[in-house]
Structure formats: structure tokens, C-alpha cells
A and B are shown apart, each in its own frame.
Chain A
């Protein structure tokens, strides 16, 4: 295709330009079809199903917003929302703190840094279900290694995931182990992009390490921390494998998050009408959280 001479304004060659635009549009068609089939259609069908009271194997009854009003008064669903927020808050804050700390450490030069960094990144590469199965064995009250370690330092054995109050913190422990490396990598990337001049001039002015961190490093890596926060939040809200494999939402419903509840409704009870309504509400929650975080990200952007 001949390149248009830069001097010529595009508008003075209408016919040729329109032909080019049409062929561009045609090229996007396959991708659009895939997106429509795989994303748009299922989404629309889910919203359609949420207006029905439909159990697979029975006839569907139209109930309009009945499923949604039912959810508002559904004690188990409301508790699931609370568990989700509790789990997400812990599973985002701790990896952010520990990941940033790890990034700061790995940013400095020391012997064996490369090897240690590689080892530190390994948890991230393990498959979630395998991770969950191994941690289940470690959590075993009588035969698990964690209680053994506690006994070595003289602490009494803990119930870990078998206690209704400790189950969510224990599950968060698994998430921290699994995803801190991701945060570390993102923040480390940010640290590597930092200019060195501000540090030199600040040191000349007699700033302490803490002041350097608080006033130079932190504001400059804030956008990266927020990016990591967005990714972690969206993943933590949707967390399924870890919770399902280790505790199945138990003991009782102590660790049942919205995603677990949704899975039970849709694939164990075949209650797809109600489950679809849960999906729509869940999507709304994730969307709200993501928008909130993106707004925060806007405020931490480096001034141009």
C-alpha cells in the first residue's frame, strides 16, 4: 500500500480513505465476533436468567426482580458479602505491605540477590489448587507441620482453618504466601524506574533513610503500588480455588465468600436463576471497587 504523503491533508482524498477505513473495519470483525460470543452474549444471558426462578430440570418461572429482592433479605448472602470484604481487605493490605518491603530489600545490591529473588518469586508460579492441597495438609491440627512448628516454640496448637474465627486469617496466610511475589515484582519494576538525582541531592541536604523513603520513594512508587492494589483486589474478591479446596466455605459458612456461595447455588443446587442474580450483584461490587481504585490511581499519578 502506498503511503500517503505527509503534506497532503487526508480530507482531500476522500474516496481512497473511505476504502481503507472499510477494510480496517472488516479486519476487526473476527475479534468482535469472538468477544460478542464469549463475553457479551453470556453476560446478557446471565442477566436474562436472573429474572427467572429456574432450577435446572424444572420449568423456569418469570419473577422479574424477585431474585434481587430475595438477596437483600438473604442472611447467608449478606454474610457472604461481609466475609468477602474481610477476606479481600486482609488479602490486599498484607501482600502490599510485605511486597513493598520485599521490593525495597531486593532493590538494594547484595550478594546472592538474583538467586534469592528467583526463589522469592516461585510461589507465584505454583498452581492454586496444588498450593491449596499442600496448605490443607499443613493446616491439619494433629498431623500438620504448622502446629508442629508452634509446638517447637512452646505455643499451643491452633485450629487454623477448622475454627470459625481463625479460618479467614488462615486462608489469607495462603494468599499472602502465594501473591506477595507478584506485588514485589510490580513495585520492584517501579523502583527500578526511579531517578537517582533526588536521592543524591536529598542525601547532600542531610536527609535520613526514613525521610528519603517517606518523601521521595513512597510518592514516586505510589502509582505502582496502586496498580498492584487493583490487581490484588480484583483477584482477592474473586478468590475461589484456595477457599474451596481448603475449607469449602466452612466450618459451617464461616469462610463462605460470594464466589463460593455463587458456585454452590449454580453448580451444586442447580439454582441458576438465583445464581445469575448473585453474579450480577457480584459484578456490580467488583466494578465499584475497581472504579474506586482507579480513581485513587489518578490522584497518585506523577505530575507531567
Chain B
């Protein structure tokens, strides 16, 4: 971690330089120490610049929200800015955000957002502030912000197509394959490196007689779409082409849906059509599933002896390679400054603090999530009470390197997940993948067109 006092932009060095180039030595000399600081605020970064201000933060109720709230006092001591924060469960927070933004006068200055759900909606309506002016202003940005430390996948979400930086990413959730090493070893199967091997392995390990499923994943509509998109991305497919037309009925998408159908209907457990992540996790915890495809953020209970029957037997596999690409579907959260806020300066200071290296390392140590900063992983591993297995960290870093957004970045993303989720669940119950995808595409295209026009 960089040491503040050795940095070239240290206040004393700068002050000396400015005194020499001089804006009137007499004027400067007449000012007191505090006055000197104010006059030179243009040139030096100062955590206490907005001392006395008050900002409002809207967070989502989650281990990460809990963690940030716990350390708010640290921010207040560091900057002198008073923090009022609210933590609301996910669905309600999203609804509150939409309603308050629509009123034109939201009650918060900083908001936590889930990129895969809210990015396009926020960008289209210009609800957040572009922070590039702050990033380029040395007096507003801490010297150790280290923008390059943010993982590529996180920046893909935080930065718009036209280069605007509308938020700072906080945590990543790439999709990985959890696998049961014991079950694999018993049948002498190696961890699959390709999609074909994956289907093959699921077939070999599927054992309905013993109640073991070769594969488990989400089947519940809406929740299940990322399982399919993981396969679409590996096939080299996409969601929407440059002209705004859906690519969800293209051959890559249909092939991915066939793979979904095979894994879920043939090698999945009974009732998988209604499984969300918690039913899948619960089955894997019992040692009744050989492979489980889901976000890396669900790993913690797997190594908890009070909850898991597979402690020490869990393998963390990077998403196998598809015929055209090896991609891990990525979901991420971040924080942004409200565009109508009158406290953008203090809000920017909060954003920097919330995403700084200390907080990111804390996130990993507390197993509250997977931080977006690459340096956090090395830093946390040095701590003695770091509990996550080395394999998990390696899997995380490798997956983050090959990660791409797992859902199209559009405003009606919930409806997308609903329409295609229903199609996928119908496939588990025997419907034809091509027919279902075509029907869903035809149903959703007008919704997409309308959303981009309005």
C-alpha cells in the first residue's frame, strides 16, 4: 500500500513551489495557516475540504451495506462531513430510487446501484453525475485513488459507451462453477474445460438412484436467465446487435438454450424448474449435486461446517470455455452521485472513501462480497483471519479477467429476464428451445424498441 508522505504531490512540496512562483508574497504572508490552506485548495487534495457539510446515502441492505455503515464514523472523522444513510432491502431500494428520481428531487446524494439492473435506466435518464471532472482534478481526488486498480469487468460497467464515468464500482460477481471434488474423484472425472466436457461430466456424474444430480442451476423464471447467458457468451453470441435488434433467437442463443435444457432437464434434480440460487446452494451443500453454476458471491456457507456437508470438498472452477470464447458472466454493484445533488463535492469524497483500498480489503476479509479492486485480494490474504480458500481467490481473479456483462444493458432488463426466463423454464418442462426463444424474442422486441425510443 502506498505511503502518503512519500508521494510527490505532498502538500508541503506543492506549497513551497507555489510560494516561489508567487502570487504576491505579501498577500500570502498576511493570511493565517488556515487561510493559506484555503487559498491553495486549488492545488492540493485535502480530505477536510468539505468539513461541516452533510450528505445522504441510499444503500441496499446487504453485508456490503452493513460493512460500509459500520465504518461511516471513520469517514466522518476523516473528512468532517456528516453522513446520513439509509439501508433498504434490494427490491424496495430500486423502487424508491425510481420514484424519487422521477420526482426530480431525490432525498439522497449518493446511491448504491446494481449495474445489471439499473445502469441503462440511470444513464438514459441522466440520474447520475459524470465523475471524470473530479477524477482529472487533483485537488478533488485523493492521490492514492488508483483508478487502474479497478478490475476491467467493473470498469466495463462503471464507464458508459461514450466514455462517461457515471459511478465507481464496488464489488463484482462473476459466475463460476462450484464442483464437488469427492463426486468427481469417485467416478474419475476431471473438471471440464469445455462446454462439451461439461455436458459429458454431468452425464457421468448424474446418479438419480443415489439422489445425486450431475448439474444444478437456477430454473426459476427471471433468476435463471444468467445461466443461459453464460452459455450464450461462450458460444460467441450476444444479446442485442448494433442496430438494436435482439440476437436471442440466433443460432448461438438457441444452442445455448439446448445446452441449458440438457443440463437442467436431463441431469438436473427433480423440481429444478422452481430452483433459485438458495435451493441450488442448499442441494450443493448437502453433497447432492456434482456441479453448480452460479455467482461466486454465494461461496461463504459452503465452507461453514455448521451449514455445509461438503466443507473442504468444494472446487471453485472457472467457467469452461465455449466453442468460441471463454467468458464468465459478470454482475456488479457500484455507487454514483445523484445528478441533481447540491453536495457533489462531499459526495465524491464519500465515493472515493467507500471504494478505497482499506474498505475493499475489509469487504473481502469480512466475506461480505468480492471487491472490484485487484489489490484487495493480495492485501487480504496477508491478514491472519482471512478465511476464504486460496482456490476461491484464484478462481475470482481468473474469472474477473474473462468477465463480460451477463445481461444486456437495457432499461427493461427485469422484463427481459421475465420473458426469457419463462421461455427457459418451459424448456426444462420439455418445450422446444428454438420455438420458445423465437416466441420470446418476438414478444420482447417491441418492449425494447419502445424503451429506447421514449
Contact = CB atoms under 8 A, between A and B. Distances in A.
Interface in A150-164: 157, 159-164
Given A57-B411, A140-B279, A268-B418, A250 B425 contact: yes
Nearest to A141: B271
A55 B451 contact: yes
A79 B263 CA distance: 29
Given A161-B274, A247-B274, A267-B95, A56 B415 contact: no
Interface residues of B, number: 38
Nearest to A253: B422
A247 B429 CA distance: 16
B271 A264 contact: no
B219 interface: yes
A162 B412 contact: no
Given A57-B121, A59-B454, A142-B269, A252 B429 contact: yes
B273 A157 contact: no
Interface stretch (B238-246, B282-290, B392-400): B282-290
B221 A248 contact: yes
B272 interface: yes
Contacts of A160: 271
Contacts of B274: 161-162, 247, 250-251
A268 B415 contact: yes
B221 A250 contact: yes
Interface string A84-119: 000000000000000000000000000000000000
Contacts of A73: none
Contact of A159 (B121, B270, B418): B270
A142 B219 CA distance: 15
B114 interface: no
A57 B450 CA distance: 12
B48 to A, nearest CB: 38
Given A142-B211, A142-B283, A264-B418, A56 B273 contact: no
B270 A248 contact: no
Contact of A251 (B99, B270, B411, B429): B429
A184 B270 CA distance: 37
A3 B262 CA distance: 85
Nearest to B223: A248
Contacts of A159: 270-271
B282 A143 contact: yes
Question: Which of B95, B221, B411, B418 has the most A CB atoms < 10 Å from its CB?
Answer: B221
B451 A251 contact: no
Nearest to A251: B273
Contact of B426 (A163, A252, A268): A252
B425 A252 contact: yes
Nearest to B422: A252
A248 B429 contact: no
Interface string B379-394: 0000000000000000
B222 interface: yes
A161 B273 CA distance: 10
A270 interface: yes
Interface in B257-307: 269-275, 279, 282-283, 286, 288
A58 interface: yes
Contacts of B282: 140, 143
A57 B98 contact: yes
Contacts of B124: 57
Contacts of A247: 274
A161 B219 CA distance: 13
Contacts of B21: none
B220 interface: yes
Contacts of A56: 98-99, 102
B220 A250 contact: yes
B105 interface: no
Interface of A is mostly: loop
Contacts of A141: 269-271
B414 interface: yes
Contacts of A213: none
Nearest to A75: B443
Nearest to B427: A252
Contacts of A162: 270-275
A268 B450 CA distance: 17
Given A250-B220, A251-B219, A164 B95 contact: no
Given A141-B269, A142-B283, A55 B454 contact: yes
Contacts of A143: 282-283, 286
Contacts of A283: none
Contacts of B411: 57
Nearest to A53: B450
Interface in A229-254: 247-253
Contacts of B414: 268-269
Nearest to B283: A142
A55 B282 CA distance: 38
A39 to B, nearest CB: 22
B364 to A, nearest CB: 31
Contacts of B270: 141-142, 157, 159, 162
A210 to B, nearest CB: 43
A57 B271 contact: no
B33 interface: no
B125 interface: yes
A140 B285 CA distance: 15
Contacts of A252: 221, 273, 422, 425-426, 429
Given A142-B211, A142-B288, A267-B95, A57 B102 contact: yes
30 contacts: A55-B450, A55-B454, A57-B98, A57-B124, A57-B411, A58-B451, A140-B279, A140-B282, A142-B211, A142-B270, A142-B286, A142-B288, A157-B270, A160-B271, A161-B274, A162-B271, A163-B273, A164-B273, A164-B429, A248-B221, A250-B220, A251-B221, A251-B428, A252-B273, A252-B422, A252-B429, A264-B418, A267-B95, A268-B414, A268-B415
Given A57-B102, A252-B422, A252-B426, 13 more contacts: A55-B451, A57-B124, A57-B125, A140-B282, A142-B271, A161-B274, A162-B271, A162-B272, A250-B425, A251-B219, A251-B273, A251-B429, A252-B273
Closest 7 CB pairs of A and B: A162-B271, A141-B271, A58-B454, A162-B274, A251-B273, A252-B425, A141-B270
